[in-house]
Structure 1
């Protein structure tokens, strides 16, 4: 059998991220330059209403002084933050949004994400001197998460930072476009279909809807993603598990890696255990799997929707300032970014192919600080890739996060 072609992996066919962050911008009259990056072409026919529409979120007070006071008061009564406040050693904690509230993810399920939900993640590490903890707080948006869910995740992320007295670095992560930092937290990152809003529940083996899982190693992290249930999703470069409920097959592509095989085997063993032996499992190699095997016959030969990859972004540096009496975003440089152009009195947006970074100068105004994150969301709507990770850093945090970004 000839090697199976690997399909394109841009599978946001049912998502609408064109307006992600827009509700955070309501009431924020920021003037964006006419020469900013052009809006994306060809997206209109690729979106589904209600997915990723921040206009449906109640974010009116996001970033205001009243908002911060409310967050501080709310943070002190949020039970989910209690273990964060008690911790004296490094940790990784994850919470899942369920109807405007957070639910702790059990330790044995950390690394598992449902694409119909949104999550808040807090990673604490020891400072170089060892005298304190350093915090990174992320909110992760599944591609089918509802507006209420990711609005809650964003709000709770800022609330947790407020609880930590603004000591955390804030991040936004979008499914499939996670930052390297985020991926480094997990040995295996599992992305499954479903979520609270879609009626996710645990069911018996015989009630499982057939699913196809793909195992792919990216850097030091092994991804497990639920992919389209089709022969055309399968290719030679990765490992796949066909889960039929009472039967499951591990299919090793001819050029897959040992890490992918090992990760899939561990998942298969765990699957069998959780179903109390009511799931028969088999391991198949591509070269030894005939076309009439159930692995192939159970999969329909239907097209897998493919999207063009996002356009490459051009590294650029922008300044967000209210020196004119209203917030305005102006371009400083395009094609490069120099730290010598950074002044402590303003907020800067640094656009790179790895992500968008917001630098908050220690001397910037209250208005500039309040709207830095919301304007980062708004800015990304004008970019070729609106899914880029966002990182917001203060002057004190900039050295460790921005040192590899500057061109000089």
Structure 2
């Protein structure tokens, strides 16, 4: 019997004259670009034309620019879009009269408690921004719990606070907040991100205000109630850089709220006061204090992502367009970066980011 006896060949479909025939064509790109030009956020005269860092927050399905003074400050109930444009070095003599050539990287950040609507809007608007930039941007999906090293490197200090647009969050220092925050306890954790490119890049995260959140490897800033003293708890194994960065955070809080600050080391007996204020009893807080960091180093969207690794899925957009449509339940070929040559990966370009339920980001690539 022949080896192919009994096999049924899949029906071949012709997409010509169908509603998907023009996907990926020049006309398709022109239509998407024209649609993207109607978004006011991209038309400030700087986006796509000048190098720099641009940050937007999704507010009621709208893209709202974040002031430069607030860059690096994010809230766990929101979704954000961040564009990093860098100028490519060229021959200054021959290209002096030409507009600067730019490379673009778009990061859309999803807060831990952002809504599905906001997350979807951020993803859609990220693709739209890429269309506005004529498809020249690399796109990265960032999660609050595991931002990539490349994303962390964009900010000298990365801060995650509780709240968001949906919860009616107001910035600390607003008159309305001063009346309502009399009994609010806030605990901030200051630490260096393991995969940060910059040696002095730190992350500041608001954590649960309980003594179990303390970790001897980091620095914590405790603020209890309206007009209360700010306490700085330095873990026994925290680094000098983390102490210095925490001091900067506290200095800004002190100027804004005009309160006293007290710094205690874990080795001091006074450090028991912080444990008590965080709900600890007489026998709590002794021994080794260890708590998982709210932000880890599992983000895989940094400069090393081209090397590939477990959990990254690579597919070909061109192949998807060329192949016939598949029936439900039939799968296309999926390959892993570590099974391909490095040269082939470098020739690929990120088209769109999707998440397939894995801890790391999944990407759809296009040749």
Q: TM-score scaled to structure 2, two decimals?
A: 0.70
Cα distance, 1:241 vs. partner?
0.2
Cα distance, 1:89 vs. partner?
3.9
Query: Do the aligned residues in 2 keep the contact of 1:139 with 1:157 (CA within 8 Å)?
Result: yes
Matched, 1:249 2:228: no
Cα distance, 1:301 vs. partner?
4.1
- 5+ residue gaps in structure 1? 1-62, 345-357, 361-371, 396-408
Cα distance, 1:316 vs. partner?
6.3
Task: Measure the CA separation in 1 of the matches of 2:252 and 2:336.
Answer: 52
Equivalent residue in structure 2 for 1:290, among 249, 264, 270: 270
Cα distance, 1:121 vs. partner?
0.5
Summarize the alignment of residues 240-319 of structure 1 with structure 2, pairs less than 5 Å apart: 240-245=220-225, 246=227, 247-275=229-257, 277=258, 279-290=259-270, 292-293=272-273, 295-301=274-280, 314=310, 318-319=314-315
1:39-93 alpha-carbon deviations (Å, 9 max, x no partner): xxxxxxxxxxxxxxxxxxxxxxxx8889966653442232211235466542101
Query: Do the aligned residues in 1 keep the contact of 2:81 with 2:126 (CA within 8 Å)?
Result: yes
Task: Measure the CA separation in 2 of the matches of 1:259 and 1:305.
Answer: 20
Task: Measure the CA separation in 2 of the matches of 1:333 and 1:106.
Answer: 40
Matched, 1:210 2:209: no
3-state SS in 2 of match to 1:225:
strand
| Equivalence for 1:337 | 340
Task: Measure the CA separation in 2 of the matches of 1:71 and 1:238.
Answer: 47
Aligned length: 297
1:316–1:200: structure 2 CA closer, same or farther, 3 Å change rule? Answer: closer
1:360-380 alpha-carbon deviations (Å, 9 max, x no partner): 6xxxxxxxxxxx637x43xx2
- 5+ residue gaps in structure 2? 1-22, 92-99, 285-289, 301-308
Cα distance, 1:340 vs. partner?
6.0
Task: Measure the CA separation in 2 of the matches of 1:83 and 1:248.
Answer: 40
| Equivalence for 1:230 | 210
Task: Measure the CA separation in 2 of the matches of 1:317 and 1:389.
Answer: 9
3-state SS in 2 of match to 1:83:
coil
1:98–1:85: structure 2 CA closer, same or farther, 3 Å change rule? Answer: same
1:155-201 alpha-carbon deviations (Å, 9 max, x no partner): 11111111111121111111121111111111110011110112212
Higher radius of gyration, 1 or 2:
2
| Equivalence for 2:138 | 169
Q: TM-score scaled to structure 1, two decimals?
A: 0.64
Query: Do the aligned residues in 2 keep the contact of 1:171 with 1:390 (CA within 8 Å)?
Result: no
Task: Measure the CA separation in 2 of the matches of 1:336 and 1:101.
Answer: 41
Query: Do the aligned residues in 2 keep the contact of 1:169 with 1:392 (CA within 8 Å)?
Result: no
Matched, 1:105 2:45: no
1:169–1:240: structure 2 CA closer, same or farther, 3 Å change rule? Answer: same
Query: Do the aligned residues in 1 keep the contact of 2:130 with 2:136 (CA within 8 Å)?
Result: yes
Equivalent residue in structure 1 for 2:129, among 140, 150, 160: 160
Say what the alpha-carbon RMSD is for the aligned residues.
Answer: 3.4
| Equivalence for 1:119 | 80
Structure with higher RCO (Cα < 8 A, 6+ apart): 1
Matched, 1:193 2:157: no
